[in-house]
Amino acid sequence: MLALAGCGGGEDVTSAGSGADFGNNNSNVVVALGDSITAGVDGGGAPWPGRLAALSGMRVINAGIGGQESGAGLARVGGTLAAYKPGYIIINFGANDAIMQRDTDQAIANIRAMVQAAKANKTVPIVSTLLPMVKGHLIYNSAAERISAGIRDVASSEGVTLVDLNGEFGDPESQLIGDGLHPSDAGNQLIALAFNEVL
């Protein structure tokens, strides 16, 4: 089932877990697995996972680690699923792969493998495209867009929910902090609202 989070237009969006068999996982637990965009940085206000918890009423575990690439996320996903038994896992990787100029196909393969690990665990995966990169990070934006295109393909082919954060960030100058990479206070709120819409 593929659900797309729109740009706040109030259109019908199918819940990511509609009809799901969660096995022995807790359907009220969400793990946000990612890098510093998930973990949060100075200047961005409260990180989006905490905001998502407040919006959704669910337990949202912030499993973001700054600087991590998709390969590190793949190495962590099994232990994270075993430790928390989440009903849902939000997979938000790729920005550091773009910045470090890693192979795009490998980054996509890593994200696909994370999705497949979640499905095998009866945890509902939610994937997201990358935020736009501007200012000092503009040089990496084309690589980020290629990874986002691959993430869209993963969501479609694996039949999982996609949140198109790249599309949601229509005003990156105000939705990102001065580094042109990490979400601002407004950006973190936008991310939380977008994930809440599909939960």
Beta bridge pairs of residue 34:
64, 92
CATH number at residue 44: 3.40.50.1110
- Is position 17 within any domain? no
- Is position 35 within any domain? yes
Q: Structurally, how many domains does the chain consist of?
A: 1
Q: Which residue did the predictor score with more confidence, 152 or 16?
A: 152
- Is position 185 within any domain? yes
Q: What is the pLDDT of residue 140?
A: 98
- Beta-carbon count within 10 A of 187 CB: 24
**Contact 43/177 with Cβ under 8 angstroms?**
yes
Beta bridge pairs of residue 125:
89
Q: What is the pLDDT of residue 13?
A: 52
Which of 12-16, 38-42, 191-195 shows the lowest per-residue confidence on average (mean pLDDT)? 12-16
Q: What is the mean pLDDT of residues 55-78?
A: 98
Cα within 13 Å of Cα(194), Cβ side: 26
Global confidence as pTM:
0.93
Q: What is the pLDDT of residue 2?
A: 37
- Is position 114 within any domain? yes
Q: Which residue did the predictor score with more confidence, 39 or 11?
A: 39
Name the residue range of residue 75's domain: 26-198
The residue type found at 146 is R
- Is position 63 within any domain? yes
- Is position 2 within any domain? no
- Is position 9 within any domain? no
- Is position 47 within any domain? yes
Q: What is the pLDDT of residue 10?
A: 38
Q: What is the mean pLDDT of residues 159-168?
A: 97
The CA-CA-CA angle for residues 162, 163, 165, to 5°, reads: 140
